[in-house]
């Protein structure tokens, strides 16, 4: 599945927890497409990982944070951060064709 608006950068900590971060800045007219893409990624994660979203230190597979800094009426910016276990991160790479 190819993403059009979200371009993720990946980092990994010393404990094997990986984080995918993306920022998408669009016109207000395109914002619904970005929101749909974010929802698609989150729905996939919910469906594939039964331990679900939550605190990774408490045994969850993944968690996410979504920020939308206010940039006025003409543009909308979305900052998405998705963290997960090594198996979750590998599955994200495969599903969304990320290097």
pLDDT tens profile 2-53: 899 999 999 999 988 999 999 999 998 899 999 999 999 999 999 999 778 9
> Is residue 80 a part of any domain in this protein?
yes
Count how many domains the chain has.
1
Per residue in 54-77, pLDDT tens?
999 999 999 999 999 876 778 899
Closest CA to 40 of 77, 3, 86, 10: 3
> Is residue 3 a part of any domain in this protein?
no
> Is residue 4 a part of any domain in this protein?
no
3-state SS record for the chain: CCCCCCCCEEEECCCCCEEEEEEEEEEHHHHHHHHHHHHHHHHHHHHHCCCCECCHHHCCCEEEEEECCCCCCCEEEEEEEEEECHHHHHHHHHHCCCC
> Is residue 1 a part of any domain in this protein?
no
- Residue 31: give the domain boundaries: 9-95
Rounded to two decimals, what is the model's pTM? 0.89
> Is residue 2 a part of any domain in this protein?
no
Domain with 60 in it: what CATH number?
3.30.70
């Amino acid at each position: 599945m190819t993403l059009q608006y979200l371009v993720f950068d990946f980092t990994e900590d010393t404990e094997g927890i990986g984080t995918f971060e993306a920022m998408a800045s669009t016109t207000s007219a395109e914002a619904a497409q970005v929101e749909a893409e974010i929802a698609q990624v989150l729905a996939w994660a919910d469906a594939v990982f039964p331990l679900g979203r939550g605190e990774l230190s408490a045994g969850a597979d993944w968690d996410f944070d979504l920020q939308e800094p206010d940039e006025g009426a003409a543009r909308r910016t979305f900052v998405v951060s998705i963290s997960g276990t090594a198996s979750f991160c590998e599955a994200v790479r495969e599903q969304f064709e990320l290097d």
